[in-house]
Structure 1
Amino acid sequence: MAVVFDKPTLLQRIAPIFQGFDGPLVFAILLLACAGLMTMYSVGFDHGSRFASHGRNMMLAAGVLFVVSQVPPQRLMALAVPMYVVGVALLLAVFLFGIQKKGAQRWLNVGVVIQPSELMKVAMPLMLAWWFQRREGQLKPLDFVVAGLLLAIPAALILKQPDLGTTLLVVASGLAVIFFAGLSWKLIIPPVLLGMVGVVTLIAMEPQWCAPDVDWRVLHEYQRQRVCTLLDPFKDPLGKGFHIIQGMIAIGSGGVWGKGFMQGTQTHLEFIPERTTDFIFAAFSEEFGLVGTLALMAAFLFLLIRGLIIAMEAPTLFSRLVAAAMTANFFVYAFVNMGMVSGILPVVGVPLPFISYGGTAMVTLGVCLGILMSVAKSKRLMQS
């Protein structure tokens, strides 16, 4: 008696590829992607082909997300050390042979021009998670010192370029891993208190600190100017303070309900600088008001909460730390961008995830989300 096997349909053949995808995480990504496309259509309406390019960047990031999500956490762990070593080597090459543009030496020509610091946004948390996974069950204070050194080396090289924004993101992702690995609060509270005292002192002594003849030494001149501009942007309202002032005006003019889609006067009369990139949040707030801004923040909050839930439910220490670090990346991106546009943080050139224009940043976000999805899939597949 012959046995007849039904030929599986195309849908049945590709279904296993999508098995284990985290539905709530996908929903959060789609919400933010829609918000980003809608905003870019408005602010980029008279800005060439930014909307179409933004859509292509999102499609590219989605492809990267899908590919990375197929890589199991065990394979990611095996890639951690090589990625870190290659990343540090490339940063050293930038320091020695890098391409200089607009006073910054951040790029390297290897046939194509690349920015190695972007690699460290992913390699840094992977490396630290690998280190703490190896030390699981036998952690000592010295292990945290080693982790701090692993973080300090690339951070110092990136800061030297100089690139304060990327340094902040790399340090934040690394500190997230160190914190979630079990760093004692006794070691966290003193530097936090010291930092708060420093900020209060800086604000109180702003006229003395920001005098033209004062040299801060630890910061480049343009970085010092950004901090002083944050403390009092109205000292130079048509120069260094213009960005912050116009951002605050746009956010305030949106009111509760906003001026309406494509009706933002500050945006379309080109008062907002870099309205498709760093300052796109000001344009969004002007057109959609407080209600729209709160809705956007709620979407980011949903993504963060879902990421932390994935981290808590991850099956291994490495997976937990990596998922927590990827989630922390999104928090830092969103918090720093909204903060600098609102005038509560210095302008450091950090994009708003999904909303700001930029291919490199979008691909990096796709990698981070792919890693987060990989961790979520590993748990679901283990349970099935």
Structure 2
Amino acid sequence: MITRRSEYGGLRGKLFEIDWLLPTLIFMTGLLGVAMIYASTKGVWDAGAQQHLTRLIMGLSLMILIAVIDFRFWFGMAYPAYLASLLLLIGVEVFGVSVNGSQRWLDIYVTRIQPSEIMKLAVVLALARFYHDLPDWRISKPTGVLGALIIIALPALLVLRQPDLGTTLLIIAPGLMIIFLAGVRWRIIGSGLIAAAIAVPLFYKFGLKDYQRERIWTFLDPSRDPSGASYHITQSKIALGSGGVNGKGFMKGTQANLDYVPENRTDFIFTVIGEQFGLLGGIGMMALYMGIAAICMIIAARMKNVFSKLMIAGITATFMLYVYINLAMVTGLAPVVGVPLPLISYGGTVMLVVLAGFGLILSAHVHRNSDLPRGAGLLL
């Protein structure tokens, strides 16, 4: 990794300062996605693989552009980005497009966007800015704790109404991790865990839709409806098991080629990897993800200000939660909640938001010596 200061100024110097190992690993992971989408569509290039490659290149270009822009600009945009994303979520509530019973998208004529994906990044930025501006002595005070919880709760409730439980979890979990890393006292954390334990059964009874409760029962007993609610996970396990250690080879997966596994180019694309490249292929994929996360955390450790440290930790946690929830879902270790495998699953908004997040991490690294003012933001 490049650590010494560049002798060049301007754009050339900033490009020199980028830790290029991170974009390289991201590009390799994205190319794996192109290959797996190509395989899952039986070798039809323009049935998803071509679009995925185009989005990958566009996203990487966006990532580098974000990286070279002065990090103080992104620092100043933390709250405006959060408020704009919140307005988009309200727009989904009023004008959103419904697909398969879920109202998650906004039609902007040229394309459709999913504001909940943008909000994952916006919540991290807002919380990082909140704690950057908050004096240390107020972190565990009621105003400090409630302020952070409000930043998380407002978008989480809107997304839950869509309904989208997976995205709701991906907003709440990194947000709570940032609260923990900010230094909230253990007694408050303990009280929160007790409150959560009490709230879970209530949320199950009154907060979930019937089909979401069905998914939980399917997770607990996959054999109860193998041709109905359990079909996805049953076929997923068959595909993964048939791959063995070495896999059947590229384009030779029968479960994918015969369309036994639904959504095998999106949420269940790991079954294609497991069937064609086996356990070793899955380990190789995880090595790419762990390498990306490790570089991000090394960058975070070098940061000198609270905003950068918490922002990088939050973005990295969100990215790895995508991976964890998807793999747990596909292997039957968690209920099916509709979370894609980042950089590999087919999907436009997720790809661009994930790469924009990495662009912010690289921008923090490039401008790591910039001074960020404290106490100038919105305090509750």
Please give the TM-score of this superposition, normalised by the length of structure 2: 0.87
Correspondence 1:43-192 to 2 at 5 A:
43-46=40-43, 48-112=46-110, 113-141=112-140, 142=142, 143-189=144-190
Report whether the alignment pairs 1:22 with 2:19: yes
Q: Show the counterpart of 2:249.
A: 260
Counterpart amino acid of 1:257? N
What is the Cα deviation at residue 191 of structure 1? 5.1
Please identify, of 149-158 and 39-48, the stretch whose mean Cα deviation from structure 2 is larger. Answer: 39-48
- Given that residues 20 and 381 in structure 1 are in contact (C-alpha distance below 8 angstroms), is that contact kept between their aligned partners in structure 2? no
Counterpart amino acid of 2:132? Q
Aligned equivalents of 1:261, 1:198: Cα separation in 2: 46
| Aligned CA distance change for structure 1 residues 49 and 97 (closer, same or farther; 3 Å) | closer
Please identify, of 321-330 and 16-25, the stretch whose mean Cα deviation from structure 2 is larger. Answer: 16-25
Q: Show the counterpart of 2:37.
A: 40
Report whether the alignment pairs 1:238 with 2:220: no
Aligned equivalents of 2:238, 2:188: Cα separation in 1: 40
Please give the secondary structure, in 1, of the residue aligned with 2:205: coil
Counterpart amino acid of 1:229? T
What is the Cα deviation at residue 230 of structure 1? 0.8
Encode CA deviations 1:344-370: one digit per residue, 9 max, x unaligned: 111111111111111111111111111
Please give the secondary structure, in 2, of the residue aligned with 1:237: coil
Counterpart amino acid of 1:15? R
Q: Count matched residues.
A: 359
What is the Cα deviation at residue 110 of structure 1? 4.7
Q: Show the counterpart of 2:332.
A: 343
Aligned equivalents of 2:268, 2:230: Cα separation in 1: 14
Aligned equivalents of 1:305, 1:190: Cα separation in 2: 31
Aligned equivalents of 2:253, 2:197: Cα separation in 1: 37
Q: Show the counterpart of 2:348.
A: 359
| Aligned CA distance change for structure 1 residues 139 and 313 (closer, same or farther; 3 Å) | farther
Report whether the alignment pairs 1:373 with 2:362: yes
- Given that residues 14 and 366 in structure 2 are in contact (C-alpha distance below 8 angstroms), is that contact kept between their aligned partners in structure 1? no
What is the Cα deviation at residue 286 of structure 1? 0.9
Larger radius of gyration: 1
Counterpart amino acid of 2:20? G
- Given that residues 45 and 51 in structure 1 are in contact (C-alpha distance below 8 angstroms), is that contact kept between their aligned partners in structure 2? no
Q: Show the counterpart of 1:8.
A: none
Aligned equivalents of 1:24, 1:190: Cα separation in 2: 41
Counterpart amino acid of 2:70? P
| Aligned CA distance change for structure 1 residues 351 and 380 (closer, same or farther; 3 Å) | farther
Give the percent of matched residue pairs that are identical in Structure 1 and Structure 2: 37
- Given that residues 99 and 109 in structure 1 are in contact (C-alpha distance below 8 angstroms), is that contact kept between their aligned partners in structure 2? yes
| Aligned CA distance change for structure 1 residues 179 and 24 (closer, same or farther; 3 Å) | farther
Gaps (5+ residues) in structure 2?
A: 1-7, 372-380
Counterpart amino acid of 2:325? V
Aligned equivalents of 1:128, 1:381: Cα separation in 2: 20
Correspondence 1:328-339 to 2 at 5 A:
328-339=317-328
- Given that residues 272 and 283 in structure 1 are in contact (C-alpha distance below 8 angstroms), is that contact kept between their aligned partners in structure 2? no
Please give the secondary structure, in 2, of the residue aligned with 1:132: helix
What is the Cα deviation at residue 193 of structure 1? 7.4
What is the Cα deviation at residue 329 of structure 1? 1.2
Counterpart amino acid of 2:83? V
Please give the TM-score of this superposition, normalised by the length of structure 1: 0.86
Aligned equivalents of 1:164, 1:358: Cα separation in 2: 18
Please identify, of 50-59 and 99-108, the stretch whose mean Cα deviation from structure 2 is larger. Answer: 99-108
Please give the secondary structure, in 2, of the residue aligned with 1:219: coil
Please give the secondary structure, in 2, of the residue aligned with 1:105: strand
